Structure 1
Amino acid sequence: MKANMLQQIQGKLVVSCQALENEPLHSPFIMSRMALAAKQGGAAGIRANSLVDVQQIMATVDLPIIAIVKRDYPGSEVYITATLQEVDELMAAHPAMIALDATQHHRPGELQLPQLVAAVRQRYPQLLLMADIATVEEAQLAAELGFDCIGTTLHGYTAETQGAYLAADNFVFLRDVLAAVKVPVIAEGNVETPEMASQCLHLGAHAVVVGGAITRPQQITQRFVKAIS
């Protein structure tokens, strides 16, 4: 099962179908239709947030899912699948893969990242784990902890990397991560065009995740409005 999902998405596109509570498309039904549209367009996998969205998507399409729960905790910057509670919630749907924030920020709850990974491995040995990182050092730590793959998801979104851009300086961050680890690297974060996605794969990314450029029409509209203003 583990190898199977990584093989399914290798060299291909994963579409992130997410809409938070303050967004106009927030709805498990709408996200399931987004996932169906992504499948019909040729996507090899889906990334989704929350148990209800994951369940609705899995009932609609047969693509492998990268599942997460986004939840804010007081006193912590970690919000993507932050504790064992979120993992347990998602495993009610038995997704093939769960992504965790793998930054070096202090986590809520009793388990910091090494202990959390160990607990998940013991409880769900067949589950694939993806590390959402923001720095090369975090990628290296994630590889040492035994994550099955590493995503550049949080580069540009943490305090240390705020405003950084995956494609800046000819994708130098992606290149650096690929050079630093031997586990599969999934390019994710501000991949805004088909050409960027293609370049990520050309550089050696195992797969590429695209979200807002496909599934968030308000962001797409903003880019058009900005360009013509």
Structure 2
Amino acid sequence: MASAHIYHLADGKKTKVNLDQFKNYYIPNVIQTSNADEIVLITSQRTQNASDVLKVNTKTGEVKKLFTETDDKWIDTDNVSLEFLEDNSFLWASERDGFRHLYWYDKDGKLKKQVTKGNWEVTEYYGYNPKSQEIFVQTTEKGSINKVISKINIQNGKSQLISNAEGNNSANFSKNYSYFIETSSTAANPYTFVLKDGNGKKLKELQNNDDQLKNYRQINSQ
């Protein structure tokens, strides 16, 4: 069984977090909240089908269970998506409805709403823009062999595709999500790199591999 300890840099003291009420667990994830004095421990039972999300006050040592995630078979604690927003509410990824989607909880662990839903998966979470209250995600909503990128307002649920070329699309966003570099490819076409604004408007093609593809096809046609 794992244990958690708080090390205080100011005086070098170490305090053990009291987790006695949680049995037969290990701790695969430790995450900082928006509060400098709070961290979250994500524990997993040895059966790996139940995971407690625990908030720990690093000054007092108080432990509060926010909620428990359960699954009939298995929870992938190595692929956790958890982000705390400015008010210390948080986004959590779960497969509880059969597909990997994002859920929004308040700071006390009460579910506010399911942010994404449908017969598709959230395959990558890129981040949250507090100014626009939008999250940026990669999903399979256009089919399992296609990965597209959307921005979604967590308040009203409005969704906008900002990268939906055929095949696989991924993104590297600027810090304020005003721009991103889109990387796209298919089984038949190599990577292209395009600079876009936060609404998906193409600003500049940075690189394509058309010449390399042409040479490859010529060589293989001989």
Which structure has more strand as a fraction of its residues? 2
Same fold (TM > 0.5): no
TM-score range, shorter chain: under 0.3
- Which one scores higher on RCO, CA 8 angstroms, separation ≥ 6? 1
TM-score (normalizing by structure 1): 0.26
